[in-house]
A = this chain, B = another copy of it.
Amino acid sequence: MADRYSFSLTTFSPSGKLVQIEYALNAVKQGVTTIGIKSANGVVLATERKANSSLLKSNTGSKVELITPNIGMSYSGMGPDFRVLVDKARKLAHTNYKRIYNEYPPVKILVQEIAKVMQESTQSGGIRPFGVSLLVGGYDEHSEQFQLYQVDPSGSYFPWKATAIGKTSNSAKTFLEKRWNENLELEDAIHVALLALKESVDGELTGDNLDIAIVSDPQDHLLGFKGTSVEGPRFKKLTAEEINDRLDSL
């Protein structure tokens, strides 16, 4: 960070605000709502996939992405900026961390690294801030715990039990505060996430306009081979059918 060629595009206003960061947050506020909920046995990340035309192909979801086999990431705000951060997060996880320690980083370490990238863009990277807030959900092998984090354009990050970002984040968070409790099972969490999204989405929820991923038990069948002692990834995207099943039971 802050190497000698870098410089800042973001300066303080008289009241001590960094306005480019505030404006970037407004870009986030214009994005569709994304929900993250942590439960006893897994994390769910759920968001709407805008399909304002029947001609838009629906089976190419990319709003919730796998970063490591046990960590997924979603966002509200500008899609192309999210893709840049997905690339960086994967690189940080694999090149910077896994190559050294021969294991994937814990969720918090990864979140701190991503947050550092986002902070740099507000002080020294010579670039505009990123126009996204992120939700990062994952599982830590060592602590055997599920984790859910939010990262903002300023580079601030927060650990959550459940939260929402984007257009209707305020009302969604109020809803989540009422519905979340320590005993929530993963299926309950998905249920709550769908209810929370229902408020913000115009029109009907379907498997085609939702992107939902979970981090829960190892999905050995996703490994593509058998008979080994290697655990499958815990990150798994729900198919349109799996989402529709849950929507039917709302």
List the interface of chain A (C-beta within 8 A of B). Answer: 1-20, 22-30, 53-57, 60, 78-81, 83-84, 87-88, 108, 112, 115-116, 118-119, 122-131, 148, 154-156, 158-163, 173, 176-177, 180
Contact = CB atoms under 8 A, between A and B. Distances in A.
Contact of A16 (B6, B27, B60): B27
A60 B108 contact: yes
A16 B23 contact: yes
Contacts of A160: 55-57
B26 A16 contact: yes
B131 A2 contact: no
17 contacts: A1-B88, A2-B125, A2-B127, A7-B7, A12-B128, A15-B23, A16-B27, A18-B128, A53-B177, A55-B162, A55-B176, A55-B180, A60-B159, A81-B119, A81-B123, A84-B123, A123-B130
Contacts of A118: 80
Contacts of A17: 27
A60 B112 CA distance: 13
Nearest to A10: B128
A1 B4 CA distance: 9
